[in-house]
Amino acid sequence: QVQAIESGGGLMQAGESLRLSCILSGRAFSRYTVGWFRQAPGKEREFLAAISGSGEATDYMGSVRGRFTISRDNAKNTVYLEIAKLTPEDTGTYYCASRVSFNSRDRRTSTFRGWGQGTQVTVSS
């Protein structure tokens, strides 16, 4: 079982950039697709981006494409999410989780496992 620990959140100003980190425990890290998700206050958790085990394939929710960048360092068991030009709408708790398969046609949160506690991002205008 691969378990995630997220970090890197904080109180930010609109227009700034931020890099979140997701460290996953467990063996065979490079076998797993990792996804980033966000839960805004009063809303359901939503998919943001995913990256395949090798890092060769990525998938983004349409509204964040071009402003969010997902990457991974398999030597460090870490996946990153860089967010450029933060807006107040980016406020929320950011989570990562993993699954074996990479499938851009299936972004359901229920297919991911090993959720962390999340890291809070608050963006002020």
| Structure confidence at residue 122 (pLDDT) | 98
| Structure confidence at residue 28 (pLDDT) | 86
Q: What is the mean pLDDT of each run of 10 residues along the chain (125 residues)?
A: 92 98 90 97 96 97 96 96 97 97 96 96 97
| Structure confidence at residue 27 (pLDDT) | 81
Identify which of 6, 11, 23, 44 has the alpha carbon closest to the alpha carbon of residue 121: 11
pLDDT in tens, 58-92: 999 999 999 999 999 999 999 999 999 999 999 99
Asked if 49 and 64 count as a contact pair (C-beta separation under 8 A), the reply is yes
| Structure confidence at residue 24 (pLDDT) | 94
| Structure confidence at residue 26 (pLDDT) | 81
The beta strands (E) that lie in the chain are given as: 4-7, 10-13, 18-24, 33-39, 46-51, 58-60, 68-73, 78-83, 92-99, 119-124
| Structure confidence at residue 62 (pLDDT) | 93
| Structure confidence at residue 101 (pLDDT) | 94
